[in-house]
Structure 1
Amino acid sequence: MSELVLNATHNIELNAHDSLDVLLNMWLHGKSKTTQSSYSKIAYKFIDFVQLPLTQIGLNHLQSWLDTIEGSDNTRKTYASVIKSLFTFTHNLGLMSVNPGKALKVGKPKDCLNERILTESEVMLMIHQESNHRNKLILKTLYYCGLRVSELCVLKWKDASVRTNGGQFTVYGKGQKTRTVLVPPSLWQELIQLKAEPDESVFSSRKKADNAHLDRTQVFRIVKNAAKRIGIDNPSPHWLRHSHASHSLDRGCPIHLLSNSLGHASVSTTSRYLHSRPEDCSSLYLIN
């Protein structure tokens, strides 16, 4: 790892005894643990590649690094967005006179959302063929409540409340936003059979100390194994969230209600699901 040396306009300098951690901790302060982990990994990959102090990095270095990124266009876009954010933050602090990330352009990738939406039959088969009771409830909660995997992992019983018909979870999600998600009565009746003390996890890990949260890798494994049983390769827990959104719209859910339930920043984000599986198209009007 190359040492970071920042010669700032405010005469701030990180010397040889300081590391990239100093800047990253400031940049990522207040973000979720999941975001901190993924963003810092990308930042370190970039610094390892360029082997230069931040003040010596230019647009050409950013472009050269992006050319080495393997994977989909969406992956490249994510990596570019992360590094652009880092440079914007550093520039705003006054630690760089020029922000090279501002000029970095990445083409808009193909929207492949439709490829990550399961059919209702596929979701039901995944759930039905899961023999482990806890894992079955994890699949059901991801799908019926439309939760992100990070949200599911940190659920505690104090976040759950009974209602006249079913129950609800108070979810603290992406962007430090809190929302309320209703739990269908049938699922609620199954979940409360697991109920424990308020500070205990709704879904606990069996491999760690008592009351330890599940981690993301465990949930990914549960979903992957469930999908593999029905012939679907390499899904993620987010596919169940995508499926929740698409199926809800198919069944007549108002888009603003779905947007609130999913915790989207705006309805425009939710509208992607309408575009991925439209009910109408001009092509249908040309058939005799």
Structure 2
Amino acid sequence: MLNSSSTLTNAQLIDLWLHGKSANTVDGYRRHAERFFAHVNKPLADCTLMDLQLWVMTLRCSDNSKRVAVGAIKSLFSFAKELGLIAANLGILVKSPKAKNRLAERILTEKEVQLLINSTTNPRDHAIIRLLYFAGLRVSELCGLKWRDLKARGDGGQITVFGKGEKTRTVLIGAGMWREINELKGNAKRDDPVFVSAKGGHLSRSMVFLIVKKAANRAGIEGNVSPHWLRHSHASHSLDRGAPIHLLQKTLGHSSVAITEMYLHARPTDSSGLYLPDDDD
């Protein structure tokens, strides 16, 4: 057990804390931690509750972004306490801001999804948008796909996905989606990326965000449409069409069915207000 914060610099503590986390988490959490340390200008063991509270007051962003930033620093304090670098975890005394649940705003209609797909003529980008929707993939999962992860199954195929929390799952896709992906293969080898960048490597997350955003603009869809909107839409539409919630949980790679249930609340199939008279006469 470590007994002195002087044994680690702030930068070394951040590296230890982020070890093994996903690239996306590392990027975001490192940014929040570095900004926190720049604000307090002292080792974590010397931070007071007032330091934490004053830092929270400096955050000039949406409630959702503020919640992520506070959550990151609370995680850092918890990690430091487990290492024995700090005597008390002050992070538990800081409340994360409540963020409005905007999930319903990020679910496209089936018609909007089709408009998004139809607005894209580039074969690679067209396949990307369709696969994000039909397989419900996270953008990082799509970017990391290699041809060895794809296998024929009947008329369609299956995709082995290495997802969040370093968990592996298998997702099935239909015949049309399977044919479209394989039309991109050409002479690619097993360990080559499915979706190739201009430099020949794996496509970056930022490029996929740009592909989806441009498609949404061409389709005239309002809002900051992102790849995750297609994952949300996959969940909502499949439930609307009768997919069992435990199957959806497995497909999306959720750790708990309680997470998957949020889509039931975001797009209810019934509401008490619909039972009331709505005549203008």
- Kindly indicate whether residue 192 of structure 2 is the aligned counterpart of residue 200 of structure 1: yes
The change in CA–CA distance for 1:21 and 1:107 in structure 2 (over 3 A counts) is closer
Q: CA offset at residue 168 of structure 1?
A: 0.8
8 Å contact kept, 2:2–2:83: no
Q: CA offset at residue 223 of structure 1?
A: 0.6
Partner of 1:131: 121
- Kindly indicate whether residue 66 of structure 2 is the aligned counterpart of residue 108 of structure 1: no
1:258 to 248, 256, 264: 248
Q: CA offset at residue 285 of structure 1?
A: 3.3
Q: CA offset at residue 12 of structure 1?
A: 5.7
Q: After alignment, is 140-149 or 60-69 more displaced? A: 60-69
Q: Determine helix, strand or coil for the equivalent of 1:126.
A: helix
Partner of 2:205: 216
8 Å contact kept, 1:58–1:100: yes
Mapped to 1, the partners of 2:241 and 2:227 lie a distance apart of 22
**Residues 92-133 of structure 1: CA distance to partner in whole angstroms, max 9, x if unpaired?**
100000111011112432211011111111111111011211
Matched to 2:209, the amino acid is F
Mapped to 1, the partners of 2:219 and 2:13 lie a distance apart of 46
8 Å contact kept, 2:5–2:86: no
Matched to 2:134, the amino acid is Y
Q: CA offset at residue 11 of structure 1?
A: 4.0
Matched to 1:216, the amino acid is R
Partner of 1:247: 237
Q: CA offset at residue 72 of structure 1?
A: 2.3
Q: CA offset at residue 81 of structure 1?
A: 0.9
Q: CA offset at residue 20 of structure 1?
A: 2.7
The change in CA–CA distance for 1:53 and 1:143 in structure 2 (over 3 A counts) is same
- Kindly indicate whether residue 275 of structure 2 is the aligned counterpart of residue 282 of structure 1: no
Partner of 2:73: 83
TM-score in terms of structure 2 length: 0.93
Matched to 1:106, the amino acid is S
Q: CA offset at residue 9 of structure 1?
A: 5.8
TM-score in terms of structure 1 length: 0.91
Q: After alignment, is 18-27 or 260-269 more displaced? A: 18-27
- Kindly indicate whether residue 2 of structure 2 is the aligned counterpart of residue 13 of structure 1: no
Mapped to 2, the partners of 1:11 and 1:237 lie a distance apart of 44
- Kindly indicate whether residue 55 of structure 2 is the aligned counterpart of residue 65 of structure 1: yes
1:160 to 150, 156, 169: 150
Mapped to 2, the partners of 1:114 and 1:285 lie a distance apart of 22
Q: CA offset at residue 47 of structure 1?
A: 1.1
8 Å contact kept, 2:77–2:89: yes
1:229 to 200, 208, 218: 218
Mapped to 2, the partners of 1:67 and 1:278 lie a distance apart of 37
Mapped to 2, the partners of 1:174 and 1:156 lie a distance apart of 17
Q: After alignment, is 86-95 or 101-110 more displaced? A: 101-110
**Residues 29-65 of structure 1: CA distance to partner in whole angstroms, max 9, x if unpaired?**
1111221111111111111122222112122222222
Q: After alignment, is 21-30 or 235-244 more displaced? A: 21-30
8 Å contact kept, 1:148–1:237: yes
CA RMSD of aligned residues (A): 1.6
Mapped to 1, the partners of 2:255 and 2:190 lie a distance apart of 29
**Residues 134-160 of structure 1: CA distance to partner in whole angstroms, max 9, x if unpaired?**
111110111111000000001000111
Mapped to 1, the partners of 2:44 and 2:4 lie a distance apart of 15
The change in CA–CA distance for 1:9 and 1:155 in structure 2 (over 3 A counts) is closer
8 Å contact kept, 1:9–1:96: no
Partner of 1:150: 140
